[in-house]
Structure 1
Amino acid sequence: MTRFYYSERVWLQAALLLLAAIPATLVARELDARTINDINVWIKPLKFYTSTALHLVTMAVLVWFLSDKARSARWLSVMAGVSAFAAVVEIAVIAAQAGRGVASHFNYSTQLDTLIYSFMGVGVLVVTIPALVIGVWFLRTPVTEKLTPGLKLGAGLGLTLGFLLTLVIAGYMSAQPGGHWVGGPRTDLGGVPLVGWSREGGDLRVPHFFATHLMQALPLVGYAADKIFRLDAKTAKRAVWIAAGVGLAVAVGTFVQALNGQPVIG
């Protein structure tokens, strides 16, 4: 029987807690007509419930492929517990700001809101730093029967490259007093379905999305190369490197596009 260690359990439990809040938030969206940036106040919490839960599940699933010794390490348990707690608090703050009817991000309207936004920036780092640590661990750990070559490289590159690109792009975006819009109207109304990206100007959330989701995309490429297509180790790793190059190009390209005030989809 597969054993789940503390780090995996706490990340999965935190993810389930966030997902469990979605039904009540959907009801709140129907009953509450208030808006922020011209869209319902509960849209942002819904997005963050989903994206943060996906990140936590990703961490739990990837750690499972490490050795039992690594999975049971005290340092990993502590890091997982702290990051899971920070994730829940972070999302609770976003929901609380929505409940107040004010923006959680780029909100400098009062000293309290400025403090909250600064606090959230620290929280995001606490949530995401484990990706860098575990990504480096994957790159350094040997190949095993469970941790096959493509998956090992995909997880290592995905977590480290995804973290570093996200740190740069999200760090730049968070420092912009005007928010994520560049050269277009400051509204989220009429954006790209589901994601909400602006269709009338640059939107820094686009490269943020592609950078962050390298953490899921590259491990999936590596896993598929090993387990589905059953490629040899050299070819599987080449597939991961190619995917990493494409992902990097897309993230950087959409970042430059956003800085030039151009929408990714007009």
Structure 2
Amino acid sequence: MSSSRLHRPLVAVSAAMAGMAVVSVLGLVLDDRLLAGEPMWAKPFKFAVSFVAYCLSLAWMLSLLPRQSRAGRRAASWAGTVVAVACAAEMALIAGQAVRGRRSHFNYATPLDSAVFTAMGVMAMVIWCGTLAVAVLLFRARMADRATVWTIRLSTVLALVGAGFGVLMTRPAPGQRRGVSDVVGAHSVGVPDGGPGLPLLGWSTTGGDLRIPHFVGMHALQVLPLLLLALLVLARRRPRLADPATRLRLMLVASGAYAAVVALLGWQALRGRPLVHPDAATLAAAAAIAALTAAGIVAALRTRAPAADPLTRHHEPEPVR
């Protein structure tokens, strides 16, 4: 795949976000102000790094779309550009609030703060819709390798699900009232925002935290394709993995396991349980996911589907859906 096929606006925004991450690191070092219990520049840093990975992943996925029609190419280009512009705009709003020493999220303290957060919500929805458009294009695309096409399709769907957890954060927390409270919405469940949290990430260690399934879900865009890449590298030494049908089955198992983990993290957060202190129900669900995943991997490696099985044909020269 030539670098010239990478979506240029997404690549450009990724480069700008990398620069913003460096600026945020300097802010973390030089600016000792705290906001809601976190360093002032922690949020810009986390968003910058996340946007680098997100935009590069989408740029790569768009480069895999076959150039079948002018309309399809135009739709892919527009979807990528919309996501790139919205990411840049949201990052500018977050950084601007950090410069002002103000909360960027859930802040209704002043008309300006309220307008900024509302604009951020609009940008987040634009990113979600743009990513949905990319997902639709990926599901309609014809590609030769089934493991690759299903990996990028399912990772995009999981990213959309993860992003959806952001909507839950905007609900008023106990004691908050729209039109009255300066802050409406929260990351944490069962405890106030700003309490004890994991270093840098800030995820609550005393209650549930919706940022966890949000983060894990969105970064399926990187984790699952990297897992597929690892299988391709291992295939050089493990002949069984050289079989495209085997890789497809393994990636379907991995995608299912990843979806189950996102669901588990969301369930844990909504019940107000901290990630680092899981209860018996959480541990039991995690054990079940691990056991089912292990069984799925064994079955994927042992199963030899008939050549006529449409999920495992790989000797046909025609592209497949």
Given the two structures, how large is their TM-score scaled by the length of structure 2? Answer: 0.74
Out of 203, 208, 219, the position equivalent to 1:197 is 203
Q: Distance in 1 between matches of 2:244 and 2:133?
A: 24
Note if contact 2:163-2:218 (Cα within 8 Å) is conserved in structure 1: no
2:189 matched to which residue of 1?
Answer: 182
2:125 matched to which residue of 1?
Answer: 125
Residue correspondences, number: 260
Residue pairs, 1:246-265, within 5 angstroms: 246-265=257-276
The answer on 1:87 being equivalent to 2:87 is yes
Out of 212, 216, 221, the position equivalent to 1:210 is 216
Aligned-residue sequence identity (percent) comes to 32
Note if contact 1:151-1:223 (Cα within 8 Å) is conserved in structure 2: no
Aligned pair in 2 of structure 1 residues 241, 82: CA closer, same or farther (>3 Å)? same
Note if contact 2:189-2:272 (Cα within 8 Å) is conserved in structure 1: yes
Aligned pair in 2 of structure 1 residues 219, 139: CA closer, same or farther (>3 Å)? farther
Per-residue Cα deviation, 1:1-28 (whole angstroms, up to 9, x for no partner): 92524x6111111100111122232222
Q: Distance in 2 between matches of 1:67 and 1:96?
A: 39
Q: Report which of the two structures shows the higher radius of gyration computed on alpha carbons.
A: 2
Out of 225, 228, 235, the position equivalent to 1:222 is 228
- Deviating more after overlay: 50-59 vs 226-235: 226-235
The answer on 1:152 being equivalent to 2:159 is no
1:62 matched to which residue of 2?
Answer: 61
Per-residue Cα deviation, 1:44-87 (whole angstroms, up to 9, x for no partner): 00101100111000011122222244698222222222221221
Note if contact 1:106-1:174 (Cα within 8 Å) is conserved in structure 2: yes
Question: CA RMSD for the aligned pairs?
Answer: 2.2
Q: Secondary structure at the match of 2:4?
A: coil
Q: Distance in 2 between matches of 1:160 and 1:91?
A: 23
Residue pairs, 1:6-155, within 5 angstroms: 8-69=7-68, 73-144=73-144, 148-155=145-152
Note if contact 1:29-1:42 (Cα within 8 Å) is conserved in structure 2: yes
- Deviating more after overlay: 110-119 vs 130-139: 130-139
Q: Distance in 2 between matches of 1:231 and 1:139?
A: 24
Note if contact 1:135-1:158 (Cα within 8 Å) is conserved in structure 2: no
Given the two structures, how large is their TM-score scaled by the length of structure 1? Answer: 0.89
Unaligned 5+ segments in structure 2 are 173-183, 236-240, 278-321
Q: Which amino acid aligns with 1:200?
A: T
Q: Secondary structure at the match of 1:4?
A: helix
* TM-fit CA distance, 1:31: 2.5
1:243 matched to which residue of 2?
Answer: 254
Q: Distance in 2 between matches of 1:106 and 1:196?
A: 16
The answer on 1:168 being equivalent to 2:164 is yes
